[in-house]
Structure 1
Amino acid sequence: MSADLLLVGATVHTLDPERPTAQAVAVRGDRIVALDDDALALRDQHTEVVDLDGAVVTPGLVDGHLHALFGVTAFTGVDLSSCGGLDDLRAALSGAPRGRDGWVTGFGLDHNVFGGAPITNAVLEEVLPGAPVVIVLYDGHSSLASEEALRRAGVTGPRAFEQRAEIVCDPAGRPTGLLLEHAAMETVRDVLPPMEAAELHQRLLGVMDGMAATGLTRGVMMDAEGGALDVLAAVEDGADLPVQLRVMPWCMPESDLAGLDAVQDRAGRRWAVGGVKFFIDGTIEGGTAWLGHADCHGQGTDAFWRDPSAYTRAVQHFAAARVQTATHAIGDAGVRHVIDSLAGVDAGGVRHRVEHLETLAIEDVRRLVDAGLVASMQPSHTGYARADLTDEWSVRLGADRAARAWPCRDVRESGGTLVLGSDWPIASYDAREVLAFAQLRRRPGTDDGAVTPQQALSPLMALEGMTTHAAAADGASDRGRVAVGQRADLTAFTVDPLTAPADELADAPVRLTVSGGLLTHRKDA
């Protein structure tokens, strides 16, 4: 039989120790069926032949942690990510368009804009008095709402939530506009006019087209709230998803475990539920990460689950059912609790994951590795910290804990499995940037100081974090390499990701992306 797709004129880094390099790859259906001369022999008049003219092919890149639908629906309106101070914020808000029912929305606002002062809605009232405004801060765990937005949501003072979330209030009990963590944020988000289905589908496909253009073939979608699975099914009625998704719905303190069990068999052509996502804490900038000792504001000593033992029981429930779990754990105490909850549990071959690990001592890294847990980190997040420790993240932690930031190299040198991702929309979904940040520990194309440069990865380690290690984390023996019988996930770079300077790799065009045998991106030479 002939090949459906034949790639020639390439240098192939297979990441297969049995056959490290190749020059041609043949694909039939969703599988790699031959390499080199055997691949050329499968060409006939029905084969699509792509001459890559010297491009470098690797296994298809996988984003280990993204939020496809949350990003599309919550990060809307004016992009505030470039604001460096309050004057920038005022200027951006003054030109912000009004949406449905007069709402103004924004996203990507950095905590550092407030210069260490309390984050309140005073600037919203100054620039947009009387308007319903809600801004999602860059961390995705906090938002800022105007007085009118709070009024429409019926928020007049503090509330108690089953999860650890807070409507921040002044000493008189009046909301300041700052909403910390999901339950508090949803009080206002729930009264926003919903996005029309057609717009939602178009935005989701547009984002995923953009992801494919950076070389992404697969992603682990760490959210499935508000009918997300039905949305994916509806989108797939009209189009193929450019990026294949493994979906991990959230398990919150108030979640129905039986309901999460029941959705584990839901799937479409190019998406499937495969696991459960937990939170054991929040963020350092928001004061909601679970730290071994308090941050400089006396915050950060509590878990997201008010009863951490209830988290342990829930995560062990899924472990016993052989369902993979992934736990958002940013603070050192949070990571330790996840390790304690899963160490020694019979996982039946399932690799449970810990997400983010923003500050962690080497002895805890070794405990995590010894427990067989996967570390999933997002190197792009180093772009929100500063080498001189003047940013809000570093100030809250202090120099000692900031020196343990995102310990990627420690995980690898301890023999651990390290998965890399973007956490989009918290950082750019551009897979090339993820690879570059992993090597540079600073924003590519700048002369910024590197953040904990001793944790930088080699080019090969970075590539493995989005290929072979991503496959190992999933227990997927048929992914992560370019070899006969493997799934046909392939990325073709115009530069060699193993030898090109990381600053150059970060914006070098991707020639071709093949996801599950489907050609999802092509850029001719």
Structure 2
Amino acid sequence: MTLTVLRNGRVHTAADPEATALAITDGTIGWIGGEHAVGNAGPPDRVIDLAGALVVPGFVDAHVHSLDAGLALTGLDLSGTRSLAQCLDAIRAHAAELDTRPGTPGILWGHGWEDSRWPEQRPPTRAEIDDAVGHRPAYLSRIDVHSAQLSSALAFLILDRVAERPDGWSDTDPVTQQAHAAVRAAARDLLTADQRRDAHLAFLRACAAQGIVEVHECAAGDESGRTDLRALLALDGPIPVRGYLAAVATDPAQARDLLAQTGAHALGGDLVVDGAIGSRTAALTSPYLDCPSSRGVRYLSDEQIVEHLVACTQAGVQAGFHAIGDDAVSAVGRALTIAAERLGELATVRLAGCAHRIEHAEMADRAAIAAFARTGVVASMQPLFDAAWGGEDGLYTRRLGPDRAAPMNDFAGLAAAGVALAFGSDAPVTPIGPWAAVQAAVHHRTPDSGLSPRAAFTAHTRGGHRAAGRMDREIGTINLGAPAHLAIVEAGELVRPAADAGVARWSTDPRSRVPLLPDLSPGVTLPRTLATLVGGRIVYDTGVFG
């Protein structure tokens, strides 16, 4: 038995808001208190002076794509490009750099271009990509990862594999729908095992450096996605991974078999009912404002959604769906109601221990929200979506108009209705950054749609554990008996919300009996993670532990 005492800090805990110390015994929090009572923790094997740092529960990122996010870290990240010309220059430079590497595989993988932010207001063409990369196969995903541009070399490879061109194919423009899925799978197949492993590890290490103690991987359901998920779950990474496989089940035996084949924990994640707003593939009940001929795409019918819910519930397997547009989100709401009626008492028994999930749920109306609340569904959402694309001049307004855009990502409405929330990044769609996500949830671009700091923080910590079906009251908190999943963040000034930006601040006086949180006011510098612990094990450290 090993006892480690952390002292001379500040602790985010409702058990004792004035606490400055805690003790960890074999990975579990065994004591919390003040400096005057540290001796009550018992004889320590190790004492760590926190020098005023704040200890909070570690974050859970409830929706990630580890390979894509890792490849953006280890390869070509186009999210910072601010024009088509700049994007093409970055691609050309990366291709030239790859040519200097001995033994480099042929695929050039890039992510993050966003034509809606460029002055040209158009994506790159196939010919422009060919000019930048030459004869190299290249896959370049849009920021939402629901469409991509590719080089002719990769296009020829795809067309050689299929009898006819899949839906969403274009010889000049970015590919979408089934065509994008095929292109993406082919591009993944060109990656080496070392590239995949390096990308996975780079991403998980970056998560640990942000105070994240677990991620929920949303894996594709095709063979490439399953292979990638198996490799990720077998990896000895710094933080745990919960695997969500995007595969439809039609009966309980199939649901259980899918988990056994891949090691996945659940069947959901990016099991897509529709696409994304940016790529105009999110399924809408009325056309896009900037493309009146389109209402997006539905990939699953109402009956397929119901069958999946029934099969998974009967098997005791957590189910979930990706749904963004109002047509898709409402379809999931209707299906939940029908499935619950078919299952009767079984639904209550099964779901009591592991709630089903809906990912994104950006355009949820009152009826859908009510259905989520009635059936105990967890809404896994991404606050940085609103920060990036919400607001009067944002992408959502340009695509949908202000009346449909304003109610999107209504965190307050969902929470008020009793829907449990879990926050994540959808990395690489938005960057991993839990404090920024919490800040975005508090300062929603639509008035009255944001959460309190406490509720937003809970959704990104305890909420992620609940979304994984862990119903232990203590997990995701700093309380006696809870696993020591902790983030230690830099010291800040103890002040009320202040006008001065540029310094990390804690906005709650410890005498207020409310657990401390950093000041989340816009413009205030958010805290830096100093160390991260998973079950008391140090997975990231800037020197706190020596």
Q: Secondary structure at the match of 2:145?
A: coil
Cα gap change, 1:197/1:129 in structure 2, threshold over 3 Å: closer, same or farther?
closer
Equivalent residue runs for 1:370-409 within 5 Å: 370-385=374-389, 387-389=391-393, 391=395, 393-409=396-412
What is the CA distance between 1:66 and its match in structure 2?
1.2
Q: Distance in 1 between matches of 2:143 and 2:375?
A: 32
What is the CA distance between 1:317 and its match in structure 2?
0.7
1:436 aligns with 2:439: yes
1:290 is matched with which residue?
A: 283
Q: Name which of 261, 264, 268 aligns with 1:276.
A: 268
Q: Secondary structure at the match of 1:190?
A: helix
Tell me how many residue pairs correspond in the alignment.
493
What is the CA distance between 1:19 and its match in structure 2?
4.9
1:121 is matched with which residue?
A: 126
1:379 is aligned with what amino acid? P
Bigger shift: residues 119-128 or 275-284: 119-128
Q: Distance in 2 between matches of 1:261 and 1:114?
A: 49
1:209 aligns with 2:209: no
Is contact 1:8–1:24 with CA below 8 Å preserved after alignment? yes
1:200 is matched with which residue?
A: 196
1:85 is matched with which residue?
A: 83
2:12 is matched with which residue?
A: 13
1:484 is aligned with what amino acid? L
Q: Name which of 474, 479, 483 aligns with 2:475.
A: 479
Q: Distance in 2 between matches of 1:192 and 1:354?
A: 26
Bigger shift: residues 116-125 or 310-319: 116-125
Q: Name which of 485, 490, 493 aligns with 2:486.
A: 490
Equivalent residue runs for 1:496-511 within 5 Å: 496=506, 498-503=517-522, 507-511=526-530
Is contact 1:436–1:506 with CA below 8 Å preserved after alignment? no
RMSD (CA atoms): 3.1
Q: Distance in 2 between matches of 1:257 and 1:123?
A: 48
Unaligned segments of structure 1, at least 5 residues: 170-174, 442-450
Q: Name which of 3, 18, 32 aligns with 1:35.
A: 32
What is the CA distance between 1:487 and its match in structure 2?
1.5
1:369 aligns with 2:373: yes
Deviations 1:282-341 (A, max 9, x none): 111222111121213122354112x33122212221022221112111011111111111
What is the CA distance between 1:464 and its match in structure 2?
0.7
Q: TM-score, normalised by structure 1?
A: 0.84
Q: Distance in 1 between matches of 2:267 and 2:529?
A: 31
1:447 is matched with which residue?
A: none
Q: Distance in 2 between matches of 1:523 and 1:77?
A: 25
Deviations 1:185-209 (A, max 9, x none): 3336415663333343233222212
2:168 is matched with which residue?
A: 166
Is contact 1:276–1:325 with CA below 8 Å preserved after alignment? yes
1:144 is matched with which residue?
A: 149
1:95 aligns with 2:93: yes
Q: Name which of 43, 50, 53 aligns with 1:52.
A: 50
More helix by percentage: 2
What is the CA distance between 1:264 and its match in structure 2?
3.6
Q: Name which of 162, 166, 186 aligns with 2:182.
A: 186
1:452 is matched with which residue?
A: 446
Cα gap change, 1:57/1:74 in structure 2, threshold over 3 Å: closer, same or farther?
closer
Q: TM-score, normalised by structure 2?
A: 0.81
1:432 is aligned with what amino acid? W
Cα gap change, 1:289/1:131 in structure 2, threshold over 3 Å: closer, same or farther?
same
2:49 is aligned with what amino acid? D
Is contact 1:146–1:177 with CA below 8 Å preserved after alignment? no
Q: Secondary structure at the match of 2:448?
A: helix
Cα gap change, 1:412/1:505 in structure 2, threshold over 3 Å: closer, same or farther?
farther
What is the CA distance between 1:217 and its match in structure 2?
0.8
Bigger shift: residues 192-201 or 62-71: 192-201
Q: Distance in 2 between matches of 1:192 and 1:265?
A: 23
1:325 aligns with 2:319: yes
Q: Distance in 1 between matches of 2:205 and 2:74?
A: 18
Deviations 1:44-71 (A, max 9, x none): 46x2322212222222211111122343
Cα gap change, 1:27/1:190 in structure 2, threshold over 3 Å: closer, same or farther?
same
Q: Name which of 414, 418, 427 aligns with 2:417.
A: 414
Is contact 2:239–2:534 with CA below 8 Å preserved after alignment? yes
What is the CA distance between 1:136 and its match in structure 2?
0.9
2:278 is aligned with what amino acid? E
What is the CA distance between 1:481 and its match in structure 2?
1.6
Cα gap change, 1:91/1:280 in structure 2, threshold over 3 Å: closer, same or farther?
same
1:25 aligns with 2:22: yes
How many percent of aligned residue pairs carry the same amino acid? 24
Unaligned segments of structure 2, at least 5 residues: 99-103, 493-505, 507-515
What is the CA distance between 1:9 and its match in structure 2?
1.6
Q: Secondary structure at the match of 2:153?
A: helix
Q: Distance in 1 between matches of 2:215 and 2:67?
A: 12
Is contact 2:424–2:460 with CA below 8 Å preserved after alignment? yes
Cα gap change, 1:227/1:339 in structure 2, threshold over 3 Å: closer, same or farther?
same
Equivalent residue runs for 1:214-293 within 5 Å: 214-223=210-219, 225-232=225-232, 234-236=234-236, 241-252=237-248, 258=253, 260-262=255-257, 264=259, 273-277=265-269, 278-293=271-286
Q: Secondary structure at the match of 1:106?
A: strand
Is contact 1:94–1:127 with CA below 8 Å preserved after alignment? yes
What is the CA distance between 1:103 and its match in structure 2?
3.9
Is contact 2:146–2:180 with CA below 8 Å preserved after alignment? no
Cα gap change, 1:64/1:323 in structure 2, threshold over 3 Å: closer, same or farther?
same
Deviations 1:12-66 (A, max 9, x none): 122x4x5555332222223222222786444546x23222122222222111111
1:378 is aligned with what amino acid? Q
Bigger shift: residues 329-338 or 369-378: 369-378
Q: Secondary structure at the match of 1:382?
A: helix
What is the CA distance between 1:468 and its match in structure 2?
2.6
2:498 is matched with which residue?
A: none
Bigger shift: residues 377-386 or 497-506: 497-506
Q: Distance in 2 between matches of 1:159 and 1:320?
A: 38
Q: Distance in 1 between matches of 2:375 and 2:526?
A: 37
Q: Distance in 1 between matches of 2:316 and 2:214?
A: 22
Cα gap change, 1:367/1:276 in structure 2, threshold over 3 Å: closer, same or farther?
closer
Q: Distance in 2 between matches of 1:130 and 1:266?
A: 37
1:292 is aligned with what amino acid? T
Q: Name which of 68, 71, 94 aligns with 2:69.
A: 71
Q: Secondary structure at the match of 2:226?
A: coil
Q: Distance in 2 between matches of 1:336 and 1:386?
A: 21
2:532 is matched with which residue?
A: 513
